[in-house]
Structure 1
């Protein structure tokens, strides 16, 4: 399989190649086998093996599939030895970047919405103001290797196990943030919902990780809430596919987005409740 990148996305190509080589060395079989890369080409390219399997996005996961998903992400988080992980750069899209984007987008969107949607935005900003998310530099939780993308389409079920693809945003991270990426990603809302609480209950998190997970879920949920574009169709646009710095066009916001994207798991009221409730 040949994966080509735009010239301006050279960093994504480098992260993809780094992830594939690390996982090939420390978790063989979990991800595509890296064959070659040309990181200096005008259009950088990575050549890798093609993995069999069906994406888990939009499916009702059996207990076997859910446990296989947990096993795959757990193996990935633990794969890279500490001394090697120390040399891996922090992944993009971490909390401070998301908070900055929320603060940039919400003022541009807030005047277009009212009712419970507007209340949710206001409460989201109020929560940010009283949380420690902006003040915490390096969370006091164990470091792991993270894929940087919670889209369930990147997790392939082959009938026996789950394998992982797409590492453009991978890097140094922590389990709570990466798990929140999965449970709050739009892919977990489209079609049959991911059984998020059951999924998360299968991880043995320590006290600090559980506290951070709650905060990260609210942050990622608020981010997704503030960045829903009205142009979303059956394959929702994610923040990684939108031009950097471009605010969302949310003229009709959640009700229309939900209708166009085919959201069935969460109504606009449920999304608002999800973001504004204490958890």
Structure 2
């Protein structure tokens, strides 16, 4: 499951991102994504400056971008349009350029997340610390049933570059433009899959940061892609239900009742 992967320090005009280890390839993904973005879509992400190794840890050094992190409150109409334009640029980078840059599928991508999630749902911890364990069990059962449905997951595509983690804190707003940071999990993806990830991110959904319809319109998703995005949302809602179970960081960081509310949200999406 996802865990703490890096530390960030600011040094004047530079940002130094020190990764915990080499094992999961976060530093490689970050560096390759930033280099490609600098070549294909300069201005929407930090310019990569150099790579270092410090005390055995990989470090990516990048430029420090202007702006303040979004999150905690709904985006304005202007911010939604700006974010849509940035995501369109990101998703519009030709697949062949992504592949040529040595960038593979994003972490927990369309072809890997369903199996990983099924494994996590089969290894459920003691739920006695939950406010309503039975409600949480009902959500887990619904997630398992949904994952097992024939045709429940759309045929995955790998034709776009995605950031993967669009926690609103990773969106910088300077009053006109939205820029993106934190590409350590980025890679080839399906735009519909990534957008479902973004709108279901717990840090965005709980405070209502994204208006789903407005963001889809701003990204200019086709009718088919929007339908596919909505079909992927239960997958990410189930992901967050797992992250909010006892023993995981989400359970510790959020107030009592959040896990139960996530179970209700998932069951509402599944219908």
Do the two structures share a fold, i.e. TM-score over 0.5?
yes
| Alpha carbons of structure 1 residues 156 and 31: separation in structure 2 relative to 1, 3 Å | same
Query: Deviation at 1:208?
Result: 3.8
Query: Deviation at 1:217?
Result: 0.8
In the other structure, the counterpart of 2:9 is none
| Alpha carbons of structure 1 residues 229 and 51: separation in structure 2 relative to 1, 3 Å | farther
Number of equivalenced pairs: 251
| Alpha carbons of structure 1 residues 99 and 82: separation in structure 2 relative to 1, 3 Å | closer
Q: Is the 8 A contact 1:152 1:188 kept in 2?
A: yes
Residue among 60, 64, 70 paired with 1:50: 64
Query: Deviation at 1:11?
Result: 0.9
Q: Is the 8 A contact 2:75 2:209 kept in 1?
A: no
In the other structure, the counterpart of 1:227 is 243
TM-score (norm 1): 0.78
With 82-91 and 160-169 compared, the bigger mean Cα shift is at: 82-91
| Alpha carbons of structure 1 residues 110 and 133: separation in structure 2 relative to 1, 3 Å | farther
Is 1:272 matched with 2:268?
Answer: no
In the other structure, the counterpart of 2:83 is 69
Output the CA distance in 1 between the equivalents of 2:98 and 2:38.
14
TM-score (norm 2): 0.80
Is 1:259 matched with 2:255?
Answer: yes
Residue among 124, 128, 132 paired with 1:109: 124
In the other structure, the counterpart of 1:86 is 99
Residues 1-279 of structure 1 aligned to structure 2 (within 5 Å):
1-9=15-23, 11-38=25-52, 42-78=56-92, 80-87=93-100, 88-109=103-124, 112=127, 114-132=133-151, 136=155, 139=156, 141=157, 143-230=159-246, 237=249, 258-259=254-255, 268-269=260-261, 271-278=263-270
Query: Deviation at 1:218?
Result: 0.9
With 153-162 and 9-18 compared, the bigger mean Cα shift is at: 9-18
- What RMSD over aligned residues (CA atoms) do the two structures have, in Å? 2.9
Which ranges of structure 2 fall in alignment gaps of 5 or more residues? 1-14
Which ranges of structure 1 fall in alignment gaps of 5 or more residues? 239-249, 251-255
Task: Provide, for residues 129-156 of structure 1, a one-character-per-residue CA deviation record: whole Å limited to 9, x for no partner.
Answer: 11435694xx2x5711111112111000
Output the CA distance in 1 between the equivalents of 2:167 and 2:230.
19
Q: Which structure carries more strand by proportion?
A: 2
